[in-house]
Amino acid sequence: MDLIFSSLDILARWDVVLALLVGSVGGVLIGAIPGVGPAVAIAILLPATFSMDPIVGLTVLLGIYGSSMYGGSIPAILINTPGTAVNALTTYDGYPMTTRGEARRAIALAYSSSFFGGIFSVVCLILFAPVLAKIAPMFGSREIFLAALLGIILVVTAHHRQTLIAAALASFGIWLNTIGLEPVKYTKRYTFDQSWLSGGVNLIVVVLGLFALSQAFILLQGEDEKVRLTKLRGSFFQGFRELARHPRVAGVSATFGVIMGMIPGVGEFTAQFMSYTYARKTSKRPEDFGHGSSEGLIAAETANNAVPAAAMAPLLALGIPGEALTAMMLSVFYVHNVIPGPGLFQNRMDFVVALYISLLILNVLVLVFLLMATNQLIKVVKIPNRFLGMCVLVLSFVGVYSLRNSATDCALAAGFGVLGFVLKRLNLPIVPIILGMVLGGIMEVKLRAGMARVKTPFDFIDRPIAMILFIMIVLVLILHFLRVWRDYKQRKAKQWSTSHASISFATTMYRRRNSLLKARGRKVRGKRSRYYPRSTDKN
């Protein structure tokens, strides 16, 4: 109880309360504007949060991260355009409900499902906190190195059918982190005697370039679209009553969100597709999915809102981010010399509990805001794309320059912006670069510290947690290669069936042609036999 009171003391400050309001409302607004998204907003806000207290900066970023998915469901339902990428599945059932005049019902369902998923994951996080507090101190240098290695492998293997390019981009991120002075003996690496490279490549510069500037280029390149909105009338509370009629779908989807959120590199997409598939297979009306099914909408929105709180578990317990957004938050910890990991649970447990409580309050604030201001909020989808692109461009360069007052950083960010623009146009992943930079630095430091106590390779995995992580790495690799082999066999079988079908078709046509010719020949011979009797008949 003392711990909770001390955590509430941390939150009972005017700047933290203001951060909670700004984060929750700002996240909803950002999510409701198609084409921006939480990654761009967090990238732009990162430099500003460095001057804030850690709990204030993190509350703002967490608010944007968690509440953006609430807002992202609004354009997904009303105009069939997801506000954030993870709301894409909401369009499957949300927009068909709008076309048949049930927009208010769809939005009410999305709000109630999102709220349930968010609260469920925070409660799970609070319940798991004592377990994490006991397990986290068992992680030494070797365990954290293996956990970071597992994170990179999961991030790479999560990009199905793009594994090689994801591995190449993660390696590129690891290489970027090695530029500059190395952390132990301070020798120069890949600086080519250039003084501006001695300090290395700043993570924030890369994040702003890859996420914010690249998105600004895409928005500026596109055309403005005219949007027609549907008026919403009536109460939004009916969503909770309808959600209560599907407790199984909501519970299972939230559980998928929590589990997938804790696994690095997996995230919202896998959670919501697993939930959606489960809901469709177990539904009494599977034919409604994709045509305005309430169960499909509940599954998608519950799962993706259960992920953000769960994604904080590996970040806080081990200091290992599972995705780009938590990697950005990690930089806020480092700037304020608050190092996430086992030590944080031992020394700053009140800070961790304060973060959990702030997540709980954020979900309540977002729901209250949405219930009161949805009719005014939906107008933000009318903002022209080019105007948004110009705003993102200006704010990004201001943020980059304010880091170190360096024009070189601006040029470097512009270069990464072009790289991000090209990768997005080619539909290639950006996240492996960021996680490669973050996890690569952790792996290097922990590997050096761990190798000091290792004499043989087996000493590296002679402790229980290290052995479990090593077995998980081996299992993940085996499962990945089995999946690649299965895909290869299926592709070969499909090619064989296609070629066999073409051969069979050709053979059938050839036989049909011969039978037609034979039939025609018999017909011609029959006619001739009537007009030209055989010589034997004359005789």
Per-residue model confidence as pLDDT tens digits over 355-409: 888 888 888 888 888 888 877 777 777 788 888 888 888 888 888 887 778 888 8
Asked whether residue 435 falls in the same domain as residue 475, the answer is no
348 and 326 in a common domain: yes
Same domain, 292 and 385: yes
Task: Judge if 379 and 426 occupy the same domain.
Answer: yes
Place of tokens 């939005």: 107
Evaluate if residue 182 carries a pLDDT over 90. no
User: In the listed set 406, 424, 453, which residue is the last one of a domain according to the structure?
Assistant: 453
Measured distance CA(54)–CA(56) in Å, rounded: 5
Q: Is residue 37 part of a domain?
A: yes
In this model, does residue 14 exceed pLDDT 80? yes
- Segment (H or E) for 289: none
Look at residue 530 and tell me if it is in a domain.
no
- Asked whether 439 and 151 are in contact (CB, 8 A), the reply is yes
In the block, which residue shows the tokens 């070969």?
492
Assess whether 75 and 131 both reside in one domain. yes
Contact 466, 454 (CB under 8 A): no
Do 447 and 472 fall within a single domain?
A: no
Number of folded domains in the chain?
Answer: 2
Q: What is the DSSP letter of 225?
A: -
In a domain, 207, yes or no: no
Output the average pLDDT for the chain: 81
Q: Does 520 reside within a domain?
A: no
Domain that holds residue 494: 466-515
CA dist., res. 322 & res. 342, Å (int): 17
CA-based nearest residue to 198, from 399, 406, 46, 48: 406
CA distances to 32, 74, 96, 106, 213 from 382, in Å = 10, 12, 21, 20, 22
Q: CB within 8 A of 285, min separation 6: which ones?
A: 293, 295
Buried b (16+ CB within 10 A) or exposed e, 221-243: eeeeeebeeeebeeebeebeebb
Quick check: 148 pLDDT over 60? Answer: yes
CA distance 216 to 421: 9
Pair (311, 403) in one structural domain:
yes
* 86 occurs within a structural domain: yes
Residues 274 and 332 in one domain: yes
Q: Could you tell me if 415 and 493 lie in one domain?
A: no
Number of DSSP helices (H) and strands (E) in the chain, helices first: 22, 2
Residue 250 lies in a domain: yes
Q: Is residue 445 a part of any domain in this protein?
A: yes
**Same domain assignment for residues 344 and 378:** yes
Distances (CA, A) of 314 to 97, 207, 318, 382: 37, 21, 5, 38
409 closest CA partner among 206, 120, 137, 177: 206
At a CB cut-off of 8 Å and minimum separation 6, what does 487 contact? 161
Alpha-carbon distances, residue 55 vs 125, 348, 354 (angstroms): 18, 12, 8
Residue 533 in this model has a pLDDT that exceeds 70 = no
Note if the pTM is more than 0.95: no
527 belongs to a structural domain: no
Tens of pLDDT, residues 288-319: 888 888 888 898 889 888 888 888 887 887 77
DSSP 212: I
pLDDT for position 539: 43
Say if residue 472 is in the same domain as residue 415: no
Residue 347: both structure tokens together: 């020394």
Tell me what pLDDT residue 418 has. 94
What is the structure's pLDDT at 348? 76
Asked if residue 415 has pLDDT above 90, the reply is yes
CA angle (95 as vertex; 260, 299 as ends), nearest 5: 25
8 A C-beta contact, residue 232 and residue 279: no
Residues 38 and 155 in one domain: yes
